[in-house]
């Protein structure tokens, strides 16, 4: 369906029930798109409660839908409103649908969840399909171990959406590193929609960290559990190492994450204050700046942190979580096999000597740039190339030619 207006528009949906990963991935894509397309506007739909803490480029904006949070039993509940979950999801779905109808995007990118949270984007997808909007599903490099993902997607009836609704399925990684849909037994019609873009590179922005402590004025290790909601093991284990061994090679800056429970934050900040060579802050929206200055990184291995490690060429020790999903463990294992990073498995005892030894070995590791992986960080270039035909008026002449280049 041809649109008469001169500008082009991309809508990106991210459910963001917890953590920073989905939001940060959508943000970096949006910023790259507007940098390459002067008449393009990008609107991000997100449930992140801290989306307003981030800077956005001109022609990128966001609509925040009411937040939800996943409980330990796997159920969802409203984050702030005194509404039951069905009312909250109904409100979110209505905002998503009406925003899409008014914004009228040329392209609609859905991050990770094909149906959105509990199916909240299915009606919007159907409406956008009738308007001729290009519908893209974006997946990270690792979803979960196949034995869990296959029955989950079967239960949610995801396959009909992939087959009949989505025009393309982008994997923000490389097939030789990980195939997130392995063992899904996808029909050929769906397989032909798959495009592996490469990882999404990150760059240090012009805005400096606003709360970087004095420790960043000399060589230091950056320790980050991402959003921090499940980062207690990593931070406690690193602190134990520094508490038991005062001769570790570098001081450490702990960035605890905005979703770490306040009582844990307070405990870790107090412990760090007792150590001369450790400092702690809760959150910094300019993590790339902190990582660029660090001599090494200790992290849990979420997608965005992994992209930053690769982009900024940092020696890294990854301590992945193993519950509720093995996503980080699978990514860390592949990174270690390729020599891109080292992995330390979770230890229930959190032996400080084991962590101290890993921290001592960190300066001797290879940098990611010393391992040749073709097209490793081509993600944003390929995303822009993939979208170019649909942000122009002569889309009919491009798709068959440009698709072949990215398999």
Per-residue pLDDT of 210-232, as tens digits, reads: 567 889 999 999 999 988 888 99
- Whole-number mean pLDDT of the chain? 90
For 7, phi then psi, to 5°, come to -85, 165
Q: How many CB atoms lie within 10 A of CB 380?
A: 23
Q: How confident is the model at residue 180 (pLDDT cuts 50, 70, 90)?
A: very high
CATH number at residue 243: 3.40.50.2000
3-state class of 75 per DSSP?
coil
CB distance 237 to 259 below 8 Å: no
Residue 157 included in any domain: yes
321 in a structural domain: yes
- Return the closest-CA partner of residue 213 out of 298, 272, 264: 272
pLDDT of amino acid 69: 77
Task: Tell the residue number behind the tokens 């869990």, with chain if given.
Answer: 148
- Reported pTM: 0.90
Residues 359 and 382 in one domain: no
- Together in a domain, 111 and 26: yes
**pLDDT tens readout for residues 227-272:** 888 899 999 999 999 999 999 999 999 999 988 999 999 999 999 9
In percent, the amount of the chain with pLDDT more than 70 equals: 92
pLDDT exceeds cutoff 70 at 3? no
Residues 97 and 13 in one domain: yes
Number of structural domains the chain divides into: 2
154 and 269 co-located in one domain:
no
Decide if 208 is inside a domain: no
Whether residues 191 and 53 fall in one domain: yes
Residue 207: inside a domain:
no
138 and 163 part of one domain: yes
Sign of CA dihedral 205, 211, 217, 221: negative
pLDDT score at 137 = 98
Query: pLDDT at position 16, please?
Result: 73
> Cα dist. 380→130, 142, 387 in Å?
28, 18, 11
Q: Residue 402: is its pLDDT beyond 90?
A: no
The candidate with the shortest Cα–Cα distance to 91, out of 79, 73, 103, 102, is 79
- 396 has pLDDT over 50: no
Strand ranges inside 238-362, DSSP E: 252-255, 278-281, 296-299, 316-318, 342-343
Q: Please report which confidence band the pLDDT of residue 322 belongs to, taking 50, 70 and 90 as the band edges.
A: confident
Pairing of strands 221-224, 40-46: unpaired
Task: Quote the domain boundaries for residue 326.
Answer: 214-370
Q: CA angle at residue 67 from 63 to 71, to 5 degrees? A: 155
Q: Which of 4-8, 24-28, 227-231, 402-406 has the lowest mean pLDDT?
A: 402-406
Within this chain, do residues 238 and 285 fall inside the same structural domain, yes or no? yes
Q: Identify the pLDDT of residue 394.
A: 46
At residue 398, the pLDDT reads 39
Would you state the structure tokens that stand for residue 222, as one six-digit string? Answer: 């950056």
What element of type H or E holds 404?
none
Asked whether residue 206 is assigned to any structural domain, the reply reads: no
The pLDDT score that the predictor gives to residue 32 is 97
């Amino acid at each position: 369906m041809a649109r008469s207006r001169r500008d082009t528009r991309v809508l990106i949906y991210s459910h963001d029930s917890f953590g920073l990963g989905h939001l940060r991935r959508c943000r970096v894509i949006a910023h790259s798109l507007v940098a390459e397309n002067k008449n393009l506007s990008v609107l991000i739909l997100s449930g992140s409660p801290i989306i307003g803490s981030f800077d956005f480029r001109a022609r990128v904006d966001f609509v925040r839908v009411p937040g939800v949070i996943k409980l330990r039993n796997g159920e969802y509940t409203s984050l702030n409103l005194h509404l039951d979950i069905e009312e909250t999801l109904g409100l979110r779905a209505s905002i998503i649908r009406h925003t899409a109808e008014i914004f009228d995007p040329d392209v609609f990118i859905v991050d990770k969840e094909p149906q959105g949270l509990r199916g909240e984007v299915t009606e919007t997808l159907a409406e956008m399909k009738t308007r001729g909007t290009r519908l893209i599903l974006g997946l990270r490099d690792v979803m979960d171990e196949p034995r869990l993902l296959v029955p989950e997607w079967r239960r949610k009836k995801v396959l009909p959406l992939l087959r009949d609704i989505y025009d393309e399925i982008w994997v923000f990684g490389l097939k030789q590193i990980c195939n997130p849909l392995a063992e899904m037994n996808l029909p050929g019609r769906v397989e032909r929609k798959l495009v592996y873009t490469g990882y999404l590179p990150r760059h240090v922005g012009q805005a400096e960290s606003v709360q970087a402590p004095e420790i960043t004025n000399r060589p230091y290790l950056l320790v980050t559990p991402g959003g921090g909601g499940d980062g207690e093991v990593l931070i406690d284990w690193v602190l134990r190492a520094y508490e038991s061994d005062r001769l570790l090679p570098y001081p450490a800056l702990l960035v605890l994450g905005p979703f770490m429970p306040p009582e844990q934050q307070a405990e870790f900040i107090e412990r760090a204050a007792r150590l001369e060579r450790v400092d702690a802050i809760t959150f910094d929206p300019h993590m790339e700046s902190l990582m660029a200055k660090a001599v090494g990184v200790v992290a849990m291995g979420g997608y965005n942190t992994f992209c930053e490690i690769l982009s900024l060429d940092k020696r890294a020790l990854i301590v992945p979580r193993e519950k509720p999903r093995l996503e980080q463990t699978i990514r860390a294992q592949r990174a270690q096999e390729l020599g891109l990073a080292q992995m330390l498995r979770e230890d229930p005892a959190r032996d400080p000597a084991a962590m101290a030894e890993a921290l001592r070995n960190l300066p001797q590791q290879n940098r990611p740039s010393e391992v040749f992986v073709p097209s490793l960080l081509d993600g944003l270039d390929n995303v822009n190339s993939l979208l170019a035909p649909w942000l122009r008026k002569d889309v009919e002449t491009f798709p068959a030619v440009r698709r072949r280049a990215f398999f």
